[in-house]
Chain A
């Protein structure tokens, strides 16, 4: 079942602007990840933040995690047209020797040139 909700569902911005997406989840987690999916393609892992971390950076990406509010945000700075994609948060739990990801509902980001 779907673990989290993301907002906004859709976001349209101009190239060069910053984009912020939010994710909320329901249960305790080991970590939270963000993935990008270009239209009709596979998902690409962007960044992972552990449950004991509050903020993490990777290039133009900044992720925050607030476990007390069960929420996370993804900030993409200086957006480019190539950033146009769907973005999903995913919470990870351990199930024996397997790792289970549950994805949020996703945000469709459109960056206009």
Chain B
């Protein structure tokens, strides 16, 4: 299984809502990532988990709260978002070590719209 799955595919939420994005992989990867991508722009790294511990937080606002409950799952909890947070949210995973650790496997993304 070389797939990273993300749910939901699309999400529309109001600025007062609380929602969560989910990501799952069963490739035994111990590094998992959240990226944000605006239209016609490259992905921007938000968070990195390595061995279920948060190792990188790229100065992301606290209205985004990541969680890695186990080695296969990664969540992104959303609260009090702003319309400018509307974007494609991508999850990725990779091996934790060696050259292969740089090759990231991406999920299809969650298209988030904040109204």
Q: A residues engaging B (CB < 8 A)?
A: 2, 30-31, 33, 35, 40-45, 48, 50, 88, 92, 95-106, 108
State whether B106 touches A42 (Cβ < 8 A). Answer: yes
Q: B residues engaging A (CB < 8 A)?
A: 4, 31, 40-45, 48, 50-51, 55-56, 88, 90, 92, 94, 96, 99, 101-109, 111
With contacts A40-B109, A40-B111, A88-B42 taken as known, whether A31 is within 8 angstroms of B102 at the C-beta atoms is: yes
Chain B contacts for A48, CB-based, 8 A = 99, 102-103
Which of B56, B88, B92, B105 interacts with A95 by CB under 8 Å?
Answer: B56
State whether B51 touches A101 (Cβ < 8 A). Answer: no
State whether A43 touches B99 (Cβ < 8 A). Answer: no
Q: List 26 A-B contacts (CB under 8 A).
A: A2-B42, A33-B102, A33-B103, A35-B106, A40-B88, A42-B4, A42-B107, A43-B43, A43-B90, A43-B106, A48-B102, A88-B42, A88-B43, A95-B55, A96-B55, A97-B51, A97-B55, A98-B55, A98-B56, A100-B45, A100-B48, A101-B102, A102-B45, A103-B42, A103-B43, A106-B42
